[in-house]
Structure 1
Amino acid sequence: MASSDYSARHLSVLEGLEAVRKRPGMYIGSTDSRGLMHCLWEIIDNSVDEALAGHGSDIEVILHADDSVEVRDRARGIPVDIEPKTGLSGVEVVFTKLHAGGKFGSGSYAASGGLHGVGASVVNALSERLDVEVDRDGKTWAMSFHRGEPGIFDDKKGEPGPDSPFAPFVSGSELRVVGKVAKGVTGTRIRYWADRQIFTKGAEFSTDDLVGRARQTAFLVPGLAISIDDKRPAADGAGPAGRTTFRYEGGISEFVDFLAPDSPITDTWRLTGEGHFTETVPVLSDTGAMLPTELKRDCQVDIALRWGTGYDTVMRSFVNIIATPKGGSHQAGFDQGMLKFLRQQVEQNARRLKVGTDKLEKDDVMAGLTAVLTVRLPEPQFEGQTKEILGTPAVRAIVANVVQKAMAERFGSSKRDDKAQSALVLDKVVAEMKSRISARAHKETQRRKNALETSSLPAKLVDCRSNDVANSELFIVEGDSALGTARRARDSEYQALLPIRGKILNVQKASISDMLSNAECAAIIQVIGAGSGRSFDLSVARYGKVIIMSDADVDGAHIRTLLLTLFFRYMRPMIEEGRVFAAVPPLHRVVVVNPGSKPNETIYTYSEAELQAVLADLKKRGRKYQEPIQRYKGLGEMDADQLATTTMDRAHRTLRRVRVPDAEAANRVFELLMGNDVAPRKEFIIAGADDLSRARIDA
């Protein structure tokens, strides 16, 4: 019988679930892949809430090849006894009644992610088929639903699926017993097929999102094992993706280490505490009236954080392990407490830190900070079913108080490491403040000046005449000798030159203040004119291309790597937009002698192997060439015509565009070879010692 032939006894249930089917976006946000994944989170979070309550330590998610998904746990199992108000089994109530569940009162869950009681029933309403099996009381109980209506699928002709004949219950629902289990064995298995009438054509489960969420949850619930088993065929026909399991004992401290994008300047600090508040909530009385009742609530706060050498902020906040990507009162409390405390510390150490009346701002404190903020409280108020923002007002003051107290203990510690790291944090936030103030003060000099205006740009900059940013190029040139040749070789209409003296500062282990006070780094940042770090604004950059032009030797490669590290750490948008290039100057110049009055030919080669190939070809063809062959040791050895032809003229030159992976590789090399951590460098030297030939050592 078709599911449209509703029976009278389920009319009220289907009316409720029909609202979900008519307005799914109200409950799951959207009907694309994001909404499809949200449904899966609702089922997984129910199992995680059980684990949080101390029941079950294993959750398995299976993505079947038929586009269904299954979630298994070994928790207490959904209640199978009859719910007295409705006369239905607990399983049917959970999957067919909106706002029904065990998380409204304080008996079953002290703190949980699901608060609205619509998760399982919404997934059921938006599924073409949903099967649930519960191990409880020594038996395996089972029930099936078709678009929210309970009944029985006839799967005799093959594998279970939404296309199997379906017969809805008419006179009464049946929670079937389909097997036996050992005494004490409990758990729940839910498998469902999303309804393609609801979800858009391209909606699909994202393995990457699922793995990321599973890893995140394993970090947040120490000891919980979450497995993802993807049995779907791969896009290239290579077979299923396989099984991945996550389990972490270190909790959010390990999460911070995983998230951090830079090298640490502090250990991972743990800030914990709790607070109490009262709130008035409506409670349903025995007579059916909603009575305002004042309840005392406990709020537990657990934060892990560390500051790093970079300026990017990585912040993750959670309420009862549910992610709140848009923040809320708990994150506002963290920001407030941290800013207030560090402002006090800076004021108390103003003389050492050399600060005047300037005050820290939130961005100064957050630069380079990686933090995971978790709060647990009963019945939090979220803004909407998607739970992206925490609304409970009292949490703000509690989190702020915990942050200030825990940070005060850390900064007041007598341990040598704590004292050193506290001083480094103050140095970093003050350097960020000074950088921000300096960027604001120099904002007027960040834009291109025309020929009639005065400019405070470095005197050694040889600027171009054009104001067309998209067409202009800045060559960063190694040394004054190369500058002289490049000045004669350039097109002064759109090519500008900035010489640097040797090797710039290694910004990998230098502080922001050291970088800004370094003449070469400061000149590069000032000439590009878009700021640095957090204040970098690509839209006001003065040049369309930045071209690093260094010698084709080891020192030149070293300088290029130093410059790439500077761009990657402080002007990364330039690299991300593909506006940073490395010039490719030649290594050799071969002059081929032509007979008679015919002018000689010039061939440039860019490697020893290419030179040998060219010479072998010339000998094979009986051509003569001038000896000795010119080997360029530096850009300064070329004359202007040669430099223009090989390296600067757009019609003939070769440029190597620097991509983000290139800059990341340079960053990793410098962290290994010139960073603060000595152990990896020692291991690298020892590992490569056997491969080094004495003949390669220039000594």
Structure 2
Amino acid sequence: MSVAASAGSEYGARQLSVLEGLDAVRKRPGMYIGSTDSRGLMHCLWEIIDNSVDEALAGHGDDIGIRLHPDGSVEVSDSGRGIPVDTEPKTGLTGVEVVMTKLHAGGKFGGGSYAAVGGLHGVGASVVNALSSRLDVEVTRGGKVHRMSFRRGTPGTFDDSSGTPSPDNTFTPFEGAGVLEVVGKAKRGVTGTRTRYWADPQIFLKDAQFAYEDLVNRARQTAFLVPGLRITIDDDRGVARDEAGEPILHRREEFRFEGGISEFVDHLAHDEAVTDTWRLRGEATFTETVPVLDDHGHMVSRDVEREVGVDIALRWGKGYDTKVRSFVNIIATPKGGTHLTGFEQSLLKTLRKVIDANARRLKLGKDRIEKDDVLAGLTAVVTVRLAEPQFEGQTKEVLGTAAVRQIVARTVESELLTVLESAKKSDKLQVNQLLEKIVAEMKSRISARTHKENQRRKTALESSSLPAKLYDCRNTDVGNSELFIVEGDSAMGTAKAARDSEHQALFPIRGKILNVQKASVADMLANAECSALIQVIGAGAGRSFDLDAARYGKVIIMTDADVDGAHIRTLLLTLFFRYMRPLVEAGRVFAAVPPLHRVEIVTGRGKPNEIVYTYSEQELHTLLKKLQKSKKQYKEPIQRYKGLGEMDADQLAETTMDPSMRSLRRVTMADAERAEEVFGLLMGSDVAPRKEFIVAGAAVLDADRIDA
């Protein structure tokens, strides 16, 4: 008999494993929480928080507290009704023990306790309990405070005589049903649940940690979605550091918003608005066949009518980034689902219909609007509420209820058409701006596609489509090529003589280019300087920008070292930030650093004088003090460069263009959203915040730094 046959003959009923209760969760935690790293750890916390939020959604309680303890445990408390403490007749266990130890047990299976909730499978609290080395739950209900503890899902008692609760304290499991201990009294009408647990190190990775920023963002998001709910976060871990490097022993955040998802959209959107925030609402019903419990406790199939509430807030801005957040019963669905599919399909269909009706005025031509054109600059929050939605998996990242797609699509079409066809003057103006933006995005996409048809870098001699004023380089290797954007014709003349034409290309701009933070996409494309610069770089613009198609390895902004030069550099950076952002993110945009002063040190004894360049007033003063100390002479007056054109070719090459001697300042974007806020403040059309910024900074500005 072969080895394989021998092994196969041993496969019988005794080789089968039956995992009972919470053992299945501990054996395959990824099935329930996705992973055992920080993401899975945070998912457990979401499960407990969402149970409290469901209570608030049902109209019970408006206060949730979250506390991160120094010992690694986390505590969630609410002012809801409290977990039932009476005995469940089928199991003979208290409601607390049923919820905490039995999979697929809870009040969210159509029993009338909840309508639209996020917790649906009845496994959230029990899964967290199974994956915790210790879990304590306190329920305030009926004028009493009830308490029960668990170790890896098993109810029992911990010896906390030391005064410090810990999963390492001696644990004694209950024999038979658990005992729900009464540990105190409560005022009449006071109810709630407090859950504190320690994640099991046997399950989770050593480096798994609670992400404070993710927790803050989720709490803020939930407060937007449930108006009037107060959520407080306290972090006592001391893991954060202040500016001096000292640990921050306590951090606290509190969120409460009376508004709804319109305020959420305003919070998410950072670019200048093209439209107001529009609200699309609707309700509809559908019928589905679901198994339900009859009066005898048996599962039977019945047709159930479901009601779906759709609430969408959206606005378009002048940028091209898309921010769409979707939710089902306040639970985020980051991977979308049927509700998001219906939203995007109907959005495209409706706007195509309106744009086609205005094709002649918009100069649409034969081209067709695509989804990316419509989504450019869109910020939206899509929410639906329904009882017992179908999700794909316990992590609830994708909504699967098929009927929701058509309901959302019909709501978007009817409500959006009402706005787009409104006779109000203010609405008409916004709609026209929106339609022009979408058509401009389409034209930009088509133009970018045309530019990228030939990915190989071409020189100006090979391509007649490049601007005539571009002085290209001979090298066809993108990695070794540089494009200098030069301010003014006078500097251009010097730069031509100073450059290495083998790998350095020059492109002059005249004066200050268009401020694209204020301008629309159509205005930007119509501007000669902006469109020519996009054409020279050759990688397109906006969401269709292709970094691999860029014709140069480095793009260097070379402007005068004065106020006008700084303004021009800011305008160029605004263009790169808004329409060629991947180039900035890749670290391929630089600012040249020309010197401010030229100091000629007298050496004497027939030797040529020594030339030293300084790049700031402080550096100049330091140099002069050093020369005075060493009793060296220098020629007066010291030359102060007001512009690049004042240098001769050798000086410009030595200080600013020669790779072996120059200094470049790399433009980085570590925090894109913060950078966008700054660009909006300094370059946007909203004057009031900029005025406040200038007034606030005037008192601390050194007047001597103003280059008049």
TM-score interval for Structure 1 and Structure 2 normalised by the shorter chain = over 0.9
- The 3 A distance-change label for structure 1 pair 297 and 668 is closer
Q: Is contact 1:445–1:455 with CA below 8 Å preserved after alignment?
A: no
Hey, what does 1:295 align to over in structure 2? 304
CA distance in 1, matches of 2:388, 2:704: 72
Hey, what does 2:52 align to over in structure 1? 47
Aligned residue among 255, 259, 270 for 1:261: 270
Which stretch shows the higher mean deviation, 441-450 or 666-675?
666-675
- The 3-state SS of whatever aligns with 1:444 is coil
Hey, what does 1:126 align to over in structure 2? 131
The answer on 1:519 being equivalent to 2:519 is no
Residue 621 (structure 1) shift = 3.9
CA distance in 1, matches of 2:111, 2:375: 37
Residue 235 (structure 1) shift = 5.3
The residue type paired with residue 526 of structure 1 is Q
Residue 693 (structure 1) shift = 10
Hey, what does 1:373 align to over in structure 2? 382
Residue 585 (structure 1) shift = 1.1
Which stretch shows the higher mean deviation, 668-677 or 483-492?
668-677
Hey, what does 1:4 align to over in structure 2? none
| Residue deviations 1:114-146 (CA, integer Å, cap 9, x gap) | 111110111111111111111112222221111
The answer on 1:165 being equivalent to 2:174 is no
- The 3 A distance-change label for structure 1 pair 662 and 330 is closer
Residue 631 (structure 1) shift = 2.9
CA distance in 2, matches of 1:697, 1:624: 29
The answer on 1:404 being equivalent to 2:413 is yes
- The 3-state SS of whatever aligns with 1:88 is coil
The answer on 1:224 being equivalent to 2:229 is yes
TM-score by length of 1: 0.94
Residue 689 (structure 1) shift = 7.0
- The 3 A distance-change label for structure 1 pair 666 and 359 is same
The answer on 1:23 being equivalent to 2:28 is yes
The answer on 1:575 being equivalent to 2:575 is no
| Residue deviations 1:279-306 (CA, integer Å, cap 9, x gap) | 1112244566543211110000111111
Hey, what does 2:516 align to over in structure 1? 507
Which stretch shows the higher mean deviation, 149-158 or 341-350?
149-158
Aligned residue among 308, 314, 321 for 2:323: 314
Hey, what does 2:687 align to over in structure 1? 678
| Residue deviations 1:492-513 (CA, integer Å, cap 9, x gap) | 1111111111111111111111
1:472-621 alignment runs, 5 A limit? 472-621=481-630
- The 3 A distance-change label for structure 1 pair 224 and 408 is same
- The 3 A distance-change label for structure 1 pair 17 and 659 is same
CA distance in 2, matches of 1:662, 1:134: 43
CA distance in 2, matches of 1:197, 1:397: 46
- The 3 A distance-change label for structure 1 pair 693 and 297 is closer
The residue type paired with residue 484 of structure 1 is G
- The 3 A distance-change label for structure 1 pair 656 and 460 is same
Hey, what does 2:68 align to over in structure 1? 63
- The 3-state SS of whatever aligns with 2:175 is coil
Q: Is contact 2:562–2:707 with CA below 8 Å preserved after alignment?
A: no
CA distance in 1, matches of 2:577, 2:233: 35
- The 3 A distance-change label for structure 1 pair 666 and 84 is closer
Aligned residue among 91, 99, 116 for 1:94: 99
Residue 582 (structure 1) shift = 0.9
Which stretch shows the higher mean deviation, 409-418 or 391-400?
409-418
- The 3-state SS of whatever aligns with 1:270 is strand
CA distance in 2, matches of 1:621, 1:260: 58
CA distance in 2, matches of 1:257, 1:58: 24
Q: Is contact 1:62–1:69 with CA below 8 Å preserved after alignment?
A: yes
CA distance in 1, matches of 2:203, 2:705: 67
CA distance in 1, matches of 2:47, 2:653: 64
Hey, what does 1:177 align to over in structure 2? 182
The residue type paired with residue 393 of structure 2 is G
- The 3 A distance-change label for structure 1 pair 698 and 178 is closer
Residue 667 (structure 1) shift = 6.0
CA distance in 2, matches of 1:396, 1:379: 16
CA distance in 2, matches of 1:77, 1:662: 42
- The 3 A distance-change label for structure 1 pair 39 and 324 is same
Aligned residue among 212, 215, 222 for 1:207: 212
The residue type paired with residue 257 of structure 1 is D
- The 3 A distance-change label for structure 1 pair 342 and 334 is same
- The 3 A distance-change label for structure 1 pair 171 and 327 is closer
The residue type paired with residue 247 of structure 1 is R
The residue type paired with residue 552 of structure 2 is Y
| Residue deviations 1:363-409 (CA, integer Å, cap 9, x gap) | 11111111111100000000000000000000000001111111122
Q: Is contact 2:157–2:171 with CA below 8 Å preserved after alignment?
A: yes
Residue 81 (structure 1) shift = 1.5
CA distance in 1, matches of 2:703, 2:192: 66
Q: Is contact 1:112–1:378 with CA below 8 Å preserved after alignment?
A: yes
CA distance in 1, matches of 2:671, 2:168: 51
Residue 442 (structure 1) shift = 2.4
CA distance in 2, matches of 1:685, 1:452: 48
| Residue deviations 1:562-613 (CA, integer Å, cap 9, x gap) | 1111111111111112111111112222223332432222122223443344
CA distance in 2, matches of 1:655, 1:697: 23
Residue 483 (structure 1) shift = 1.6
Hey, what does 1:350 align to over in structure 2? 359
CA distance in 2, matches of 1:526, 1:81: 73
Q: Is contact 1:565–1:667 with CA below 8 Å preserved after alignment?
A: no
Aligned residue among 96, 110, 127 for 1:105: 110
The residue type paired with residue 446 of structure 2 is I
CA distance in 1, matches of 2:672, 2:349: 37
Q: Is contact 1:104–1:115 with CA below 8 Å preserved after alignment?
A: yes
- The 3-state SS of whatever aligns with 2:177 is coil
CA distance in 1, matches of 2:96, 2:113: 16
The root-mean-square deviation of aligned C-alpha atoms, in Å, is 2.4
Hey, what does 2:153 align to over in structure 1? 148
The residue type paired with residue 639 of structure 2 is Q
- The 3-state SS of whatever aligns with 1:133 is strand
Question: What's the % identity of the aligned pairs?
Answer: 72
CA distance in 2, matches of 1:515, 1:31: 48
The answer on 1:417 being equivalent to 2:426 is yes
Q: Is contact 1:106–1:378 with CA below 8 Å preserved after alignment?
A: no
Which stretch shows the higher mean deviation, 12-21 or 125-134?
12-21
Aligned residue among 60, 82, 90 for 2:87: 82
- The 3 A distance-change label for structure 1 pair 692 and 659 is closer
- The 3 A distance-change label for structure 1 pair 629 and 163 is closer
Hey, what does 1:647 align to over in structure 2? 656
- The 3-state SS of whatever aligns with 1:240 is coil
Hey, what does 1:465 align to over in structure 2? 474
Hey, what does 1:238 align to over in structure 2? 247
- How many residues align structurally? 688
CA distance in 1, matches of 2:516, 2:54: 46
CA distance in 1, matches of 2:248, 2:545: 45
Q: Is contact 1:568–1:664 with CA below 8 Å preserved after alignment?
A: no
Residue 633 (structure 1) shift = 2.5
The answer on 1:428 being equivalent to 2:433 is no
Q: Is contact 1:445–1:457 with CA below 8 Å preserved after alignment?
A: no
For structure 1, the 5+ residue unaligned runs are: 1-11
For structure 2, the 5+ residue unaligned runs are: 1-16
- The 3 A distance-change label for structure 1 pair 457 and 133 is same
CA distance in 2, matches of 1:480, 1:460: 11
Q: Is contact 1:327–1:390 with CA below 8 Å preserved after alignment?
A: yes
- The 3-state SS of whatever aligns with 2:237 is strand
